[in-house]
Amino acid sequence: MRFYLMLSILAAAAAWLAVLLIRRMMAEAASSRIEVETVALERLPEALDGYRILYISDIHRRILNEEVLLQARGEGGADIVLIGGDMREKGVPLDRVEDNMRLLARIAPVYAVFGNHDYDEDIGSLAKLLERCGVTVLVNRYVWLQVGAMPFKLAGVDDPRLGKDRLQAALETPLDAAGAEGDNRSDPPFTIMLAHDPIIAHRNPTIEADLVLSGHTHGGQIIVPWIGPAMRTASVRRFPSGWFDLAGWRGKGQDKNGPERVRMLVSPGYGTSKAPIRWNCPPVIHLLSLTRGNQPCSKSIEAGSIKP
């Protein structure tokens, strides 16, 4: 009798602990923070020193609120908003996506790439919505942007998991005819690339960019102590989250002035996949301040948490 009583007590305790753990994981997944970072890039033009990028990836089902807007402004604002794909997933109403995009557009001009989950439902309807919201989507295309008298290239490559990526087209094909005006430069331009899935860096030994912004992995979403990410996809194994230095392209072909290394950020993302839970892998929105240099990225003091 005592044995069965002890089993019942242990089972009840285990169930109670499981409930607490699930609640903790759900609270972590619903949290928000803006992580402020200084990014050193060796070929950064002087005009772009201090240029600020608000980068968000993998929103999925989440709803952005005014707190995000207020905190971004409180941290000094941004010159541009970049989205690394997965702005939705199957079952997410388009009006939620629209609300999220319009809020981000209040911070700065918005550019995005599609992720694999953006294709879960009719991509044409999503593309039209983004256009109405003023979001420029780069599908294996690039645009020229200008800071002062200095142009630079922003490229976006489509999702490699779905076989839609065309890396060279993203670097060589302008979004429109007017975008080709800056292509008569003799030196390779400073280039930022959006790529939803970092696996593209594994499949392509050389990416002719200076900064690559990626996501998709969710950082593993659940990080088990002493074990690591519960998700073990190829992307998570190679590029779970954080900063990575890729092989540069200096001296290759005719590009004598390329960087010695390409810097890539893999964001743990803002939303979740399959279940609204995270563990030891909180969601992040990045506020990147660009500076010229070759030293490793230095994280500044993080902005305070935004309550869910």
Average pLDDT of every residue of the chain: 86
Residues 241, 118, 97, CA angle at the centre, nearest 5°? 95
Residues in a beta bridge with 101: none
Q: What pLDDT is recorded for position 238?
A: 84
Bridge-based pairing of strands 80-83 and 110-112 is: parallel
Lowest-confidence pick of 69-83, 100-114, 167-181, 288-302: 288-302
- Residue 303 reports pLDDT greater than 60: no
> CB–CB of 221/272 below 8 Å?
yes
**Residue 128 pLDDT level (bands cut at 50, 70, 90):** very high
Q: What pLDDT is recorded for position 260?
A: 82
Q: How far is CA 213 from CA 4, 10, 261, in A?
A: 56, 47, 15
| Greater pLDDT, 69 or 84 | 84
205-219 residue pLDDT tens: 889 999 999 999 999
Across the range 263-272, mean pLDDT stands at: 95
**Residue 270 pLDDT level (bands cut at 50, 70, 90):** very high
**Residue 246 pLDDT level (bands cut at 50, 70, 90):** confident
- Residue 255 reports pLDDT greater than 70: no
DSSP string, 253-274: TTBTT--SEEEEEE---SS-SS
- Residue 220 reports pLDDT greater than 50: yes
Burial (0-12, 13-18, 19+ Cβ within 10 Å), 184: exposed
Q: What pLDDT is recorded for position 9?
A: 66
Q: Which residues contact 111 (CB under 8 A, 6 or more apart)?
A: 80, 81, 82, 83, 135, 136, 137, 138, 143, 154, 156, 194
Please give the backbone phi and psi of residue 221, each rounded to the nearest 5 degrees, phi first.
70, -45
167-181 residue pLDDT tens: 999 999 998 866 566
User: In degrees to the nearest 10, what's the CA dihedral of 111, 113, 114, 116?
Assistant: -140
Q: What pLDDT is recorded for position 301?
A: 31
**Residue 7 pLDDT level (bands cut at 50, 70, 90):** low
Domains of the chain, earliest start first? 31-299 (3.60.21)
Residues in a beta bridge with 158: none
- Residue 297 reports pLDDT greater than 60: no
8-58 residue pLDDT tens: 666 666 666 766 767 887 899 999 889 999 999 999 999 999 999 999 999
